[in-house]
A = this chain, B = another copy of it.
Amino acid sequence: MPDLIPDPQRDVRPTLEAVAARAGVSRATASRVVNGGAGVRQPLVDQVRKAVDELGYIPNHAARTLVTRRNGAVAVIIDEPEFRIFSDPFFSRQIRGISRELNAHDAQLVLLLVEGSGDFERVTRYLAGGHVDGVLAFSLHTDDELPAIIRRFRVPTVYGGRPERSAAEAGDVPEVPYVDCDNRGGAREAVSHLVSLGRRRIAHIAGPRDQTSALDRIGGYHDVLPGAGRELMAEGDFTVEGGARAMGELLDACPDLDAVFVSNDMMASGALRVLRERGVRVPEDVAVVGFDDMASVAEATEPPLTTIRQDVEGMGRLMVRLLMERLNSGTGAWPESVVTPTRLIRRASA
């Protein structure tokens, strides 16, 4: 006879009650042991542990959450137009770091991908439902509704990347901490390197102006080259194609440029293609420096790309640590934001 009982395994799972009975203690004691065993005499601890093993007991998460109001889960929210998430290894790495650190804290990663405005309602409902203990949010654009939602529901949050500080946020609400790399410093490093190479006409291909990373990198460029003319600046959208287009514009506007600092590696890869197509030698005629050091991109370009490395995975881990700090500090005090250092990686392009 085939089993008509649905999911037999599932119904057979032992409860704390069973563990307690087997160990000859009360449910309360069993619970204490399962949760660390503080304040329970050693012999009893051992008995309970044994019973747990023998029964293969696994705590029921839902029951625990119901009473503790802790979910043991963190939401990672990524709001990004398709074209970037589809093609940028950046997210994979960041998430890898987050996943690792979350595992270390025994917390689950709930992935929330936001695409259109319609999605915000769903996310709002989810956060409002208190299904997660905290939130890690990425790629905030100036016009995002997310920060407002997060503030409204007071969900403990850490941002990935410095968020645009909106007017609404300027009030009495405590600032949400973020983790970001030193975009401005990294950009300075890149441009200084180009200067030290003797380059005089150094252009910049910037990223979209609604992202603070792009803005900060522009800032670094201007820190080193305060007098750079407008004709030396073009804007891309962080994609390969965008970089190619921007490079074309730049070449048309000032044919005498001898270096380009590109705001990310993807765009740099597009820029290199255009330079090659136009017969411009890299680095002889034009030196190129990127940003990110995405190995899959920077090492694969022709020539390999000199770029600014940021520790994306480390930043992911850091985000989790900050969040956990906040969650575990009974006070609800916010930890400080963290800016991680960058580093110039020399390859052949500059």
Name A residues whose Cβ lies closer than 8 Å to a Cβ of B.
Answer: 6-10, 13, 56, 58-63, 65-66, 69, 71, 73, 76, 82, 85-89, 91-93, 95-96, 99-100, 103, 108-113, 115, 119, 122, 125-126, 128-131, 153-154, 239-241, 266, 269-270, 273, 276, 294-296, 299-300, 302, 330, 332
Evaluate contact between A111 and B111: CB separation under 8 angstroms: yes
How many of these chains are in the complex? 2
Given contacts A60-B66, A61-B129, A240-B296, 8 further A-B contacts (CB under 8 A): A6-B330, A60-B130, A61-B62, A89-B89, A100-B113, A109-B112, A269-B300, A302-B302
The reply to whether B128 and A99 contact each other, CB–CB distance below 8 Å, is no
Complex partner residue of A300 from B58, B96, B270, CB under 8 angstroms:
B270
Whether B95 lies near A111 (C-beta < 8 A) is yes
29 contacts between A and B (CB under 8 A): A6-B332, A7-B332, A9-B153, A10-B69, A60-B130, A61-B62, A62-B71, A66-B66, A73-B110, A85-B96, A86-B92, A86-B93, A87-B294, A88-B89, A88-B92, A88-B296, A91-B92, A95-B111, A100-B115, A103-B119, A103-B122, A108-B110, A108-B126, A109-B110, A109-B112, A110-B111, A240-B296, A241-B299, A269-B300
> Cβ of A108: which chain B residues have Cβ within 8 Å of it?
110, 126, 131
